[in-house]
Amino acid sequence: MNQWWKERIAYQIYPRSFQDKNPKDGIGDIEGIISRLDDIKDLGIGIIWLSPVYKSPGADNGYDISDYLSIDPIFGTMQDMENLFREAEKRDIKIIMDLVINHTSDEHEWFKKSRDPKSPYRDYYIWQPPKNAGKANGSSRQPPNNWTGFFMGDVWEWDEMSGEYYLHLFDKKQPDLNYKNPKVVDEIKNIMRFWLDKGAAGFRCDVINIIYKTSLEDGKKSPAVCGIEHYKSQEGNHEILRKLRKEVLSEYDCFTVGETVMVDIDEAKLLCDESRKELDMLFYFEHLEIDRRIARFIPKKFNAKKLLEVLTKWQQGLEWNALYLENHDQVRIVSHFGSEKKTGTSPSKHWQSSAKMLAIMELTLRGTPFIFQGQEIGMTNFDFKSIKEVNDVESHGLNRLMKKIFIPSFLRWKWIKASSRDNSRTPMQWDSSENAGFTSPGIKPWLGVNSNYTHINYAQQKSDSTSILNFYKKLIALRQKSECLKYGEFLPLHADKKMICYQRKLNTCTDRGDTKSGAETYFIGLNFSSNKIKLPKEITKYFGGEILLSSTGRKILSTKKSRAEILPWEGVIVCRQPIQ
């Protein structure tokens, strides 16, 4: 079958922050998405990953689903969704849905029924008596094990009605499903079929490597997510993925991209090795965590050498990668790896070049690129003043935990600012009108609009040929024309603390098995600093001369004393044989 997902560029929409249209209530909706499809197409997008629009009480912004087969009224109706599929198809855009199946909402019918110990739904979830159950010594109740959760809190919630605890690796409003129960797998198969029949072209599978809990024994002591060794990338998990592929997905022209928590390369190989028929590709986190401690919570010094090392490992280790620098759980990439230091409300002088340099990085790697809404215009982290403006359930969990261990408030705020998922969730900045064109003036958006919207917005960039947006368009068009940028192998060339250089090369026999000759080779250099950097002599020969694309706009890379220089925050692409 034609693996079209390797040929297209994907765009992630976080519906509540994308475009508010109907009803105008400060929350983005499906009609809003439809109204922007032409802009998405214009960028060169061929796949949309739609974050959840299903019915949900919204404890985790839709990642807590109470009905998988209906649309939440805040986003619209099933008819709107069908329209979206139709309108996207007209523009040759495929839509993949978010499949959140590790847990449901506690307001899902299954869970409500499951609270009755005699219900046939009891085994849909993971219920356990207290650890010290039956001890008549008056000691207080103890949770079944010592695990800790992803949102920095407990994973066991006592349910008075049940007389037992239930497991929730995320919020207590997100009880984990029990994948040892085959009925649960059958339910998931039905949900998948429902959406594939409606027109979905596949799924982004939420936390898909932690769904199967092999045992509920105590975990090894660990500063974060204690207990993970009992449920991460387990054999039972692999079996379920193979079953879903064999019994559902293989009947459709579709693909899956798994979000895989704390995955390492060996686990990833098993999860997306083509012959094992589990996932088509996966999102890993390691590249975004090179300058973070404890997952992504505490900042540490950036080192480009480490970045190239991580990229090389994944680029060469997997047959195909899902490429991304931002999503709704991560901070904005220009604020993270780029240059965003603000002077007043206007962005720094290197904001634009660094955002373009990062675009070069994402779009010159091997894999399917996923661009997160707003990334294409260089949106930055939020500028909120206090935790009161933050909505993210994870940030509040982190704040509570830090308070408990007496971390002073200035430090708590510093770390929350550096990690909060709300950084990327602020409303899309469409234009310079009040509320950035996300919603009408006078309506309060569900989350604050970044005050830099007068400088950073889509409308302004659309009409400016030198904008980040137009740079993304150019890069996408370049990639779409080039077999080498899509399928060529990745070869690291050089790195120091602030710069990386690599090569993309198409061998005579591509990994798709067809023969190519005389194809082009690309050399890419990326500077992650405000200083000019000289390239070492050995690689200058690849870079000197005509530049195909530079984030600073220059066309020639001169070589003084046989050393080429990369400018501050510059990304350059040099092509040795021009594309025909």
Q: Supply the minimum distance, in Å, between the C-beta of residue 28 and Ca ion.
A: 6
Contact between 329 and ligand ISL per CB under 6 A: yes
Please provide the DSSP assignment of 85-127 as one string: HHHHHHTT-EEEEEE--SB--TTSHHHHHHTSTTSTTGGGB-E
Contact between 392 and ligand ISL per CB under 6 A: no
Q: At what angle do helices 393-404 and 409-419 cross, to 10 degrees?
A: 150
Assigned token pair, 175: 């009880």
Q: Supply the minimum distance, in Å, between the C-beta of residue 170 and ligand ISL.
A: 5
Give me the residue whose beta carbon is nearest to Ca ion: 29
Dist CA 304 CA 528 (whole Å): 7
Nearby residues of 193 by Cβ (< 8 Å), 6 or more positions away:
248
Binding site for Ca ion (CB under 5 A): 20, 25, 27, 29
Which among ligand ISL, Ca ion, none contacts residue 265 (Cβ within 5 to 8 A by kind)? none
Of these, 206, 267, 422, 520, which contacts ligand ISL (CB under 6 A)? 206
**Selection from 505, 496, 506 nearest residue 526 by Cα:** 496
Of these, 29, 31, 60, 286, which contacts ligand ISL (CB under 6 A)? 60
* Identified catalytic residue from 176, 259, 326, 422: 259
Of these, 11, 49, 54, 63, which contacts ligand ISL (CB under 6 A)? 63
Please provide the DSSP assignment of 135-153 as one string: --S-PPP--SS--B-TTSS
Q: Supply the minimum distance, in Å, between the C-beta of residue 206 and ligand ISL.
A: 5
Contact between 150 and ligand ISL per CB under 6 A: yes
**Selection from 566, 579, 569, 568 nearest residue 539 by Cα:** 566
225 vs 533, beta carbon nearer ligand ISL: 225
Q: Would residue 206 show up in a list of annotated catalytic residues for this protein? A: yes
Which among ligand ISL, Ca ion, none contacts residue 157 (Cβ within 5 to 8 A by kind)? none
Integer CA distances (angstroms), 457 to 380, 383, 431, 460, in order: 11, 16, 5, 6
104 vs 467, beta carbon nearer ligand ISL: 104
Q: Supply the minimum distance, in Å, between the C-beta of residue 444 and Ca ion.
A: 12
20 vs 171, beta carbon nearer Ca ion: 20
- Backbone Cα Rg of the chain: 24
**Selection from 469, 432, 468 nearest residue 451 by Cα:** 432
Q: Would residue 259 show up in a list of annotated catalytic residues for this protein? A: yes
Residues in the chain, total:
580
Q: Supply the minimum distance, in Å, between the C-beta of residue 324 and ligand ISL.
A: 12
Q: Supply the minimum distance, in Å, between the C-beta of residue 447 and Ca ion.
A: 13
Dist CA 263 CA 286 (whole Å): 8
Which among ligand ISL, Ca ion, none contacts residue 20 (Cβ within 5 to 8 A by kind)? Ca ion
Assigned token pair, 449: 């609009």
* Interactions with ligand ISL, residue window 280-309 (CB under 6 A): 285, 295-296
60 vs 164, beta carbon nearer ligand ISL: 60
Which among ligand ISL, Ca ion, none contacts residue 295 (Cβ within 5 to 8 A by kind)? ligand ISL
- Peptide bond just before 23 cis, omega within 30 deg: yes
Assigned token pair, 247: 């019994």
Please provide the DSSP assignment of 326-347 as one string: --TTS--HHHHTS----BTTBP
Q: Supply the minimum distance, in Å, between the C-beta of residue 12 and ligand ISL.
A: 10
Residue for token pair 């983005």: 28
* Interactions with ligand ISL, residue window 70-109 (CB under 6 A): 100
* Identified catalytic residue from 72, 206, 394, 520: 206
Would you tell me which residues interact with ligand ISL (CB under 6 A)?
Answer: 60, 63, 100, 150, 170, 206-207, 259, 261, 285, 295-296, 328-329, 394
Residues involved in catalysis: 206, 259
